[in-house]
C-alpha cells in the first residue's frame, strides 16, 4: 500500500517484538508515528496471571528508544463487557471460544481503532500482525502473511474492507526471523521476548487456573464411547474436543495402551466422553455448520455453492471443502476428507488462494458416524 508522506500513523504497542519493529519500520520511512498501549484487564489480585504491567514497561522503553510518543488507554471495562463475559458464557455451554478473535473485533479494531482515527486524528492504524492488505479495483483485500507459520489472518477475519483502507500491517511481507533480526540490529531489549498468546493477557498454561476463579468446577465421570467409566474429570470447561493431555487416564486392562482423546462433552449429565487414537471415528467430522458469517468484502456477491479452503483452528493446514448456503447467517461446509477435532465455539475461516474471504463461528460439527 502506498502512503503519502507526513501522514500520521498510530501503532498499537503491545510491548512485544512485532509491534516494536512495526513502529520502527514506519518511523524509518519518515512517517509521523505515535504508539498506543491498551490495558485490557485490571490486575488487582490477578497479577500472577496478567503480564500487562511488564508489557507496558517494555512498550514505554521501546517508544523512548524510537523517540515516539506513547498514548495509553484503559479498555478493561469494554473488554469485560464485550469479550470476557461471552468467553465465560461459551465455556458454560461446553464450547471452546476464541477470545483473541473477539478481542480483535470488539477491542483492537473497534475501540482502539476508532480512538486512533477519530480522537487522535490518525490517518492510519498499524499493528504487528502477520498479514497483508492489497488494493484492487478500488477495493481492499486481506491476504495471508508471507510467513506461513506466522500468518494471522485466522484472527482477523472479522475485519471489513472499509477498515482495511485505514489499517497497515508492515510485517506482512516479512518472516518472524527477519523481524527478530531487525530488533537485534537496532538493539531493542524485546528482540528475543517470547511471543504472547492466549486470552489477550493470560498465558495458556495459566488459563485453566484463572478460569476457576469465575466458573464452578464440578467433577464428573470420564466415560468411553461405549459408556464405561474409566476416570474422573475436574470440570467440563477445562477440556476441549481433541484434547489428549491432562485426562489422567492410565492403561486399561484389555485395551491397547494408545492415547485417549476427548470426543464429546455431555453438559447436562456432566460427562466427558473419550476414545482412543487421534483419528478415531468418533473424533472425525465430514463437515460443519457455521453461524454469524462475516464476509470481509461484503459488496462482492457470493454465488453458492462454491469451493474454497478453510481453517477450523490456527496453524492448521488448509482444508479443501465446498460451501453451501443455508440462510443469511448460516452456511454448511463439507470437507473433501474427514477432519479431526472440529470444535463448536471456535472459528472457521475461508480462503480463496491467499485471500481471506471471511468466516464464522462453528455452531455444530457433522460427525463421521
Beta strand residue intervals within 158-254, DSSP E? 167-168, 220-224, 229-233
Beta strand residue intervals within the chain, DSSP E? 8-12, 32-39, 70-74, 124-126, 131-136, 139-144, 167-168, 220-224, 229-233, 260-266, 271-276, 284-295, 306-311, 319-325, 331-340, 347-352, 355-367
Q: Given 50, 63, 103, 356, which residue is catalytic?
A: 103
Cell (9 digits) for 32 = 509521523
3-class state of residue 322 by DSSP? strand
**CA dihedral (195, 199, 200, 204) positive or negative:** negative
CA-based diameter of the chain, in Å?
Answer: 73
Question: Does the annotation place 1 within a ligand binding site?
Answer: no
- Contacts (Cβ under 8 Å, ≥6 apart) of 248: 231
Question: Does the annotation place 264 within a ligand binding site?
Answer: no
Residue count of the chain? 369
Question: Does the annotation place 13 within a ligand binding site?
Answer: yes
Question: Does the annotation place 17 within a ligand binding site?
Answer: yes
Distance, CA of 237 to chain centre: 19
Closest to 154 measured CA to CA, from 359, 361, 363, 364: 359
CB-based burial, 97-131: b 16+ in 10 Å, e otherwise: bbbbbbbbbbbbbbbbbebbbeeeebbbbbbbbbb
111 flagged as catalytic? no
Query: CA 144, CA 317: separation in Å to the nearest integer?
Result: 13
Q: Given 50, 63, 111, 200, which residue is catalytic?
A: 200
Question: Does the annotation place 19 within a ligand binding site?
Answer: yes
Question: Does the annotation place 128 within a ligand binding site?
Answer: yes
Question: Does the annotation place 12 within a ligand binding site?
Answer: yes
Q: For residue 287, what are the β-bridge partners? A: 334, 366
Question: Does the annotation place 14 within a ligand binding site?
Answer: yes
50 flagged as catalytic? no
Ordered alpha helix ranges (H), 122-270: 161-164, 176-185, 204-211
Q: For residue 11, what are the β-bridge partners? A: 35, 126
Residues of the binding site: 12-19, 38, 128
Residues of the binding site for ATP: 12-19, 38, 128
Q: Which residues are catalytic?
A: 103, 200
Amino acid at each position: 500500500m502506498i502512503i503519502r508522506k507526513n501522514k500520521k500513523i498510530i501503532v498499537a504497542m503491545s510491548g512485544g517484538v512485532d509491534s516494536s519493529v512495526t513502529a520502527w519500520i514506519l518511523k524509518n520511512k519518515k512517517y509521523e508515528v505515535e504508539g498506543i498501549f491498551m490495558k485490557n484487564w485490571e490486575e488487582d489480585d490477578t497479577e500472577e496471571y496478567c503480564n500487562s504491567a511488564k508489557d507496558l514497561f517494555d512498550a514505554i522503553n521501546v517508544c523512548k528508544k524510537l523517540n515516539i510518543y506513547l498514548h495509553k488507554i484503559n479498555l478493561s471495562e469494554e473488554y469485560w463487557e464485550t469479550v470476557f463475559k461471552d468467553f465465560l458464557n461459551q465455556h458454560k455451554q461446553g464450547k471452546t471460544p476464541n477470545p483473541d478473535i473477539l478481542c480483535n473485533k470488539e477491542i483492537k479494531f473497534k475501540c482502539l481503532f476508532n480512538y486512533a482515527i477519530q480522537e487522535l486524528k490518525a490517518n492510519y492504524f498499524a499493528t504487528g500482525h502477520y498479514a497483508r492488505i492489497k488494493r484492487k479495483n478500488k477495493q481492499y483485500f486481506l491476504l495471508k502473511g508471507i510467513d506461513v507459520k506466522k500468518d494471522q489472518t485466522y484472527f482477523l477475519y472479522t475485519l471489513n474492507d472499509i477498515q482495511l483502507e485505514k489499517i497497515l500491517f508492515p510485517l506482512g511481507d516479512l518472516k518472524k526471523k527477519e523481524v527478530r533480526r531487525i530488533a537485534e540490529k537496532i538493539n531493542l531489549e524485546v528482540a528475543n521476548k517470547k511471543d504472547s498468546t492466549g486470552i489477550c493477557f493470560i498465558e495458556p498454561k495459566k488459563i485453566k487456573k484463572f478460569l476457576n476463579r469465575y466458573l464452578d468446577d464440578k467433577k464428573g465421570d470420564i466415560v468411553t464411547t461405549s459408556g464405561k467409566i474409566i476416570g474422573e474429570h475436574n470440570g467440563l470447561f477445562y477440556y476441549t474436543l481433541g484434547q489428549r493431555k491432562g485426562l489422567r487416564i492410565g492403561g486399561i486392562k484389555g485395551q491397547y495402551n494408545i492415547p485417549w482423546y476427548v470426543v464429546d462433552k455431555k453438559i447436562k449429565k456432566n460427562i466427558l466422553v473419550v476414545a482412543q487414537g487421534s483419528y478415531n471415528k468418533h473424533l472425525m467430522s465430514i463437515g460443519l455448520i457455521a453461524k454469524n458469517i462475516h464476509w470481509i468484502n461484503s459488496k462482492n456477491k457470493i454465488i453458492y455453492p462454491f469451493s474454497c479452503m478453510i481453517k477450523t483452528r490456527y496453524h492448521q493446514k488448509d482444508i479443501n471443502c465446498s460451501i453451501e448456503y443455508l440462510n443469511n447467517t448460516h452456511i454448511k461446509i463439507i470437507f473433501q476428507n474427514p477432519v479431526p477435532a472440529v470444535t463448536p465455539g471456535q472459528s472457521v475461516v475461508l480462503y480463496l488462494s491467499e485471500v481471506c474471504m471471511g468466516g464464522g463461528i462453528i455452531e455444530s460439527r457433522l460427525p463421521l458416524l
